[in-house]
Every structure is written in structure tokens, then in C-alpha cells.
Amino acid sequence: MYALADCNNFFVSCERVFRPDLEGTPVVVLSNNDGCAIARSNEAKRMGIRMGQPMFEFRDLIESGSVTVFSSNFALYGDMSRRVQQTLSRFAPAIEVYSIDESFIDLNSMDPETDFDLWAKTVSRECRRCTGIPVSVGVSPTKTLAKIASKLCKQYPATKGGCWMYRPQDVEKVLRRFPVEDIWGIGRRYSRRFKGYFGMKTAWDFYSLDANWVNDEMGISGLRTWKELHGEPCIDFEDTVQAKKQIMISRTFAKEITESDDLSAQVSMFCSMAVEKLRKQGSCCGNTTVFIMTNRFRKESGKTQFESRLVQFPTATDSTLEINTAVMHATQEMFRNGYGYKRAGVILGDIIPADKVQLSFFDEVDRDRHSKLMKVMDTINRRNGRNTIGVASQSLEGIKMNREHLSPCYTTDWNDIVTVNC
């Protein structure tokens, strides 16, 4: 058996933990720079607010008080996610953190006589009691079926947050009503094709297909999903955090940047953040890509640009100094006077473990010295806060974004801790 613990409307739920007056009211969490909706309460969904809908399209609802909006507070959401995972670890032998609001749980080492329906409801109840976050827990013989079971918990309050789906007749009943596009691993492209050419609408339609046909049309990944729906576990459980194969830091700026030094300072900060993540997972990168772009919605000016540069390193590195030098050179090459830049980013690629780096015979970098300096930088920033120390070219003021509706960092900032007056 596998379980999936899925936090309901996670970003909205995090805000409601500290604003219980918003329970049962429409709430929306916005993307960076308060651009569009990235999380909606059930009440906001019923009002017709769509995922990804720009804020200006429902501004009248905000101004009338019909909807409460929050700027994205990822420091709060990340900490609340950690607290949920801590609670889950009390009930499970192994956890795979799938995303900030989802975790798979391996139940195969538990007693086969366990009442998994009661177990799921207990886990859901304890997560709500300990963290304030509503969590749907679906249990089934495979990861894909567990994901479907967790969705049932959200749709049917009678499940009390937990659902154990394992009997063939129950699986068939659910799949006959479950939309094919909502199956984990199907995606929009395949679902559109299935509906348009083959008339498939439900998960049961996909379940009923011939295995050879699925393999021919979708390959091994589609066949894996098909087998999972039939109760055959095919997706490995990973209880250790896998090192990322690519790291990207990218942001949209609150205001267009027209000066070379200002753009370089922001890009340099993105570089420092990305390389810090690289070192944290014990890796080095073989190349980096830098991109800058103007506001794509301002085509009337005639000054639009999207440009990128790939820089290859002779020896894979995790040195902010070495990577930042290459990033700054590439940014200055791409910058054009008179253009207003709205977005930029840094991507680290060709990532390998730090202990697998092969040095070049002609390498002129003092890597031992760089390594010691990076450790000191990371220690200072970890102890005193991000951007306490950095390279001279980067901005230490943080990323400037429009966050007019930002909530306090209740659990990560001493100045924002809730004060109770008796």
C-alpha cells in the first residue's frame, strides 16, 4: 500500500491558519508581483476565478470586499510544509516529498492487518490539529491510485480526510467517473488527443484499453500509468531527496530596468542564489545559461528582446566567484541601451556530484581557496540571513517585487510572531 498526503488549497490554507476569520470566504493567493491567481479557495473557485487569471480581471471583486487576496509568501508556505512533513513522519516508516504540498508515504512495511481507512483519517486529523492545514490522505496499492483516492477526499467531506481504495469494485466505480485528464501522468496533450480522436473521457476508458495499444501510442511512461491503474506498482518510491539536474532562478521585475548596472546587480543576485542551492545539494555545474527579456506586452515600442547566452566551464564548478564572472560578462554582452527589461534568469546545467568532478590539467583556478571562501559565505548567510554577504556585483537588497498584499512571516521572522493579549 501507498498513501498520498495532499494539502488542500495549500497556500490559501496557510494564510487561513493565522486568519481564521477567512474560513468559508473567497480567498486568492497571487503570483510574484501580484500578477495572477495561483491558489484559490473553493469559494473563490465557485465565483468563477480561474487558475492563472490576471488580478486586474477580478479587481472589482477585491475592491468590493467580495474576495480577499494575498501576495505569495513562500517563506511561510515552505515552513508550514515542513511542519506538515514532520507530523506525517510520526505515522509513516518512509516519506517521499513530491512537492511543497504533496508527500507519498510507503506503507509496505506496516502490518498488513492495519485498518488503513482509520489510519488515513487519523493522519488527516492529526495534521489539522498540529498544523492547522487540512490534508487529504488517499491509500491504495499504487501511487497513481493513491493520488486518485486523495482527490476523492477533497470532493467528499464524508470521507473525513481519509480514503482507502483497494477493492476492485470500488476502483472501477471511481474510475468510471474520474476524468481522464486528471490521471497522474496523462497530461493535457494526451487527454485532448484521447477525447478528440478516440472519444475517451474517463479513467475507466483508459483503464479498458489494450496494453499493447497504450505502449504503441504513449510508450513506456503511458504503459506504466496503465499498469498502476490496474494495481501493479510501477513508479519507484524515493525516500531520499534527489539532486536536481538543473537549477534555475528567474524573476519578473516590479518595474522595467533600463540601466546596465541595475540589471547586472539583479542577475548577479540570481546567480548567487542558484549557486548556493548547487552547493547545498553537494553538486557542481558544467555550464550556465543567462537570459534577459523585455516586456512582451509592449510591442508598440518596437524595442522587444529575448536573448540568452550559454557559458561552458572547462571544469565543473560550484564557485560563486567563477560562475558569477561568466554570468556578468554574458549579461553585459546582451544588454542594449534604451531597452526596458522586465525579466531575467540564471540556469545552472550539466550538474554532477561534487566528488565526481574531473580536474583539467591546465586548470588555473585555486579551487581549494574558492571552496574555503564559499563555505564561509554560506555559513554567514545561513546564520545571519540571506544576502548578509555576497559578491560585489550583486544586489544585497533582495528582489524588488510588487507585494502589496503580503501577510506576515508568522513562523519564520521574530518580528512577525503572533502576540496574544490576555
Q: Indicate whether 205 and 220 sit together in one domain.
A: yes
Q: Indicate whether 225 and 88 sit together in one domain.
A: yes
Res 302: pLDDT: 66
User: Of 302, 304, 277, which Cα lies nearest the Cα of 288?
Assistant: 277
Res 153: pLDDT: 92
Q: Across-strand partners of 341?
A: 257, 294
Q: Indicate whether 92 and 224 sit together in one domain.
A: yes
Q: Indicate whether 372 and 351 sit together in one domain.
A: yes
Say if 291 falls within a structural domain: yes
Rounded Cα gap, residues 412 and 396, in angstroms: 20
pLDDT tens per residue across all 422 residues of the chain? 899 999 999 999 999 999 999 999 999 999 877 888 999 999 999 999 999 998 989 999 999 999 999 999 988 999 999 999 999 999 887 888 888 999 999 988 888 888 999 999 999 999 999 999 999 999 999 999 999 999 999 988 899 999 999 999 999 999 999 988 888 888 777 888 887 767 888 899 889 989 998 888 888 988 999 999 999 998 887 755 567 788 998 888 878 889 999 899 999 999 998 999 999 989 999 999 999 998 876 665 667 888 999 999 988 999 999 999 999 999 999 999 988 898 899 999 999 998 888 877 777 788 888 889 888 888 888 887 777 777 887 776 655 666 788 899 888 888 888 888 87
Question: 135-140 and 162-164 as β-strands: parallel, antiparallel, unpaired?
Answer: parallel
Grid cell, residue 61, equals: 471583486
Q: Indicate whether 303 and 367 sit together in one domain.
A: yes
User: Of 196, 191, 161, which Cα lies nearest the Cα of 178?
Assistant: 191
Say if 404 falls within a structural domain: no
CA-angle at 389, arms to 284 and 344, nearest 5°: 60
Grid cell, residue 420, equals: 496574544
Q: Indicate whether 267 and 369 sit together in one domain.
A: yes
Rounded to the nearest 10°, the torsion over CA 185, 281, 284, 308 is: 50
Q: Indicate whether 218 and 265 sit together in one domain.
A: no
Say if 40 falls within a structural domain: yes
Say if 212 falls within a structural domain: yes
Rounded Cα gap, residues 276 and 194, in angstroms: 43
Q: Indicate whether 92 and 69 sit together in one domain.
A: no
Q: Indicate whether 323 and 278 sit together in one domain.
A: yes
Res 401: pLDDT: 63
- The helix or strand, by DSSP H or E, that contains position 227, with its residue range, turns out to be helix 211-229
Q: Indicate whether 87 and 224 sit together in one domain.
A: yes
Res 77: pLDDT: 93
* Helix/strand/coil percentages in the chain, nearest 5: 45, 20, 35
Domain enclosing residue 288, as ranges: 247-384
Say if 353 falls within a structural domain: yes
The residue written with cell numbers 473525513 in the block is 160
Rounded Cα gap, residues 139 and 147, in angstroms: 8
Say if 12 falls within a structural domain: yes
**Number of domains, the chain:** 3
Res 332: pLDDT: 92
Assess contact for 94 and 105: CB atoms under 8 A.
Answer: yes
Q: What is the CATH number of the domain that holds 271?
A: 3.30.1490.100
Assess contact for 49 and 68: CB atoms under 8 A.
Answer: no
- Residue 72: exposed, middle, or buried by beta-carbon count in 10 A (0-12, 13-18, 19+)? buried
Q: Indicate whether 98 and 120 sit together in one domain.
A: yes
Q: Indicate whether 212 and 283 sit together in one domain.
A: no
Q: Across-strand partners of 106?
A: 2, 94
Rounded Cα gap, residues 77 and 57, in angstroms: 26
For the sheet containing 247-257, what is the strand order?
247-257, 341-353, 283-294, 306-317
Assess contact for 77 and 10: CB atoms under 8 A.
Answer: yes
Say if 309 falls within a structural domain: yes
Grid cell, residue 55, equals: 488580478
Say if 394 falls within a structural domain: no
Grid cell, residue 313, equals: 566551464
Q: What is the CATH number of the domain that holds 54?
A: 3.40.1170.60
Q: What is the CATH number of the domain that holds 164?
A: 3.30.70
